[in-house]
A and B are shown apart, each in its own frame.
Chain A
Amino acid sequence: AQKITQTQPGMFVQEKEAVTLDCTYDTSDQSYGLFWYKQPSSGEMIFLIYQGSYDEQNATEGRYSLNFQKARKSANLVISASQLGDSAMYFCAMRDLSGGSNYKLTFGKGTLLTVNP
């Protein structure tokens, strides 16, 4: 069974600074994908970034990067140059890519990020 742990219920960061949101995972699968989603107060789920378990380089998407440490089973999200609009709930999620028919995402409980001006 897959499990995602996000140990930071809430985080604060000053505008323009970088922030790291932690995510550790547990799985017996050899092939899997790790995701980060942003959920603003309006409620929609916004896909941010993806990392495959066999990807050798850390994923980057604009101001988002994923610090992937496979041996430690961690997939931390780094947001550089924080903006007020980054204030939201952030979810780490995982999906099995080993070829089974169930492509469901397993989510962590989330981290609420507040960006202060």
Chain B
Amino acid sequence: NAGVTQTPKFRILKIGQSMTLQCTQDMNHNYMYWYRQDPGMGLKLIYYSVGAGITDKGEVPNGYNVSRSTTEDFPLRLELAAPSQTSVYFCASSYTGQLAYEQYFGPGTRLTVT
């Protein structure tokens, strides 16, 4: 039972570098989300997707981009990494509809930008 998988688990970037955080779910969920968790804080939504080909901004989208070409994959792209993007990134997915209340989270990616 893979659920939501994220790669890599850890990454150190230099300022100005770019990278893609990978997220894959095998539960056939239409909804997928990217959150970031700063030290001592709760999670904040970066981007979300309600289905393949559809994405939208969350609370803190600046400096990030996403794409959703398939139901399974929802990669998060960081362009021109900055120290403020040092955080733990969580991908999540859920069923569609109002009855879909539980979000399933991946294990997280710990990113450090120096």
Residues on A lying within 8 angstroms of B by beta carbon are: 4, 31, 33, 35, 37, 43-45, 47, 50, 52, 91, 93, 95, 97, 99, 101-105, 107-110
Contacts and interface: CB of A to CB of B under 8 A. Distances in A.
Interface residues of B, number: 28
Interface in B2-36: 31, 33, 35
B101 A102 contact: no
A43 B101 contact: no
A24 B97 CA distance: 25
Contacts of A91: 42-43
B107 to A, nearest CB: 5
Nearest to A42: B107
A104 B58 contact: yes
Given A4-B42, A91-B43, A99-B98, A105 B103 contact: yes
A10 to B, nearest CB: 11
Contacts of B102: 35, 47, 50
Interface of B: 31, 33, 35, 40-45, 48, 50, 56, 58-59, 88, 90, 92, 94, 98, 100-105, 107-108, 110
Contacts of A95: 101
A43 B48 contact: no
Given A95-B101, A101-B50, A103-B100, A44 B108 contact: yes
Contacts of A101: 50, 56
Contact of B42 (A33, A44, A103, A110): A110
Contacts of B58: 104
Given A43-B108, A45-B90, A101-B50, A107 B100 contact: no
A45 B36 CA distance: 12
B112 to A, nearest CB: 14
